Structure 1
Amino acid sequence: MKMERSFARKLNWKPLFNSLIFGAAIGTFVYILLKRDIALGIMFGIIAFLIQSIVIYPRYLPSLYGCWKINEGSVSYYDYSTWSKRIKAIFLPVSKKQKSVSFENIMSYSLVVSKKSDKWTPHYILLKLDNGHNVALDLSWNLLKSGAPGKDVEWVVDYITNKLHQKTVQVLQV
């Protein structure tokens, strides 16, 4: 039986759909506000759609739709390393495939946390790859939606630590 666990939310059509709704709402509002001027309504609707889909959503895409999976041999994740990759993911989510990195290609990893009111909250796992790149694996979605968020984080930290033969995990504070 193949072991695989998923974390965070999977990429889907929602960012594009929300951008279209936002653009239509702004366009309709401008159309009504400016005495039924259809040209201005369409223009402002398109501008609002573009701002939402190529400026606002790409900024938050890794934390909103940063699905990643871990199995016995590798970690799979969406590569959002450039702005253009994020925009492509919004407009073509079905064609966006996850990248996979073998545990042999991971040099080390860290757990990034923050502290609020004497409570530590994990945010993401940072993988340091042997090619010099870093990969951030978001934990925030699971912390909000999972029935046992602490158990999810504990499990993945223990699992990666064992796979990489590290004695401990380095904890970084933001």
Structure 2
Amino acid sequence: MRVVDLDMERPADWVVRMLPAAALRGAGMAGEAARLVRRPPVTGCALAGRGGLERHRKVLANTIEAVAANARMCGPGMEAWRPSWQIEAQVYAEIGSACMDLAFQVEHMLLAGGRDDGQLAIRLVHMAFALGGFRGAGSVAAEVRRSYHELFDALVLEGRGRLMSA
């Protein structure tokens, strides 16, 4: 089964707020995750208007700095992050292609509108994933997959998408 005819407002909110929050929870950074979740949801007006996601962008950028500082405190070797393509490949494999494909689709939609919020959110997921590997294998992937399934449950139940056999 797959969900089609998506209303992109909820997936955009998921990428900007809930996806990085889930990754942060999995990496043991519940405070930073809660800060993202407390932000107002992304709305259609915010997606359509100029600067509508600016408040989210600032929080994402500050959270990236917090994750980087946390990584430096974790000890030797964390300063030397693995190459981004290695982390991206591992994230894609462990979290799952369907989940990350949606994240990249929303990232590209936002980029087409002149917004880099999706890029920041995915970068944050990659950083949390790298940090989470030192905290417990699979914890970030499990949290992100759970968040992804909650998104699709909500989309189908709210009528913002429909199920179609694969």
Query: TM-score normalised by the shorter chain: which range applies?
Result: under 0.3
TM-score by length of structure 2 reads 0.26
Higher normalized helix content (fraction of residues):
2
- Tell which has more relative contact order, 1 or 2 (C-alpha 8 A, sep 6+): 2
TM-score by length of structure 1 reads 0.26
Bigger radius of gyration among the two:
1
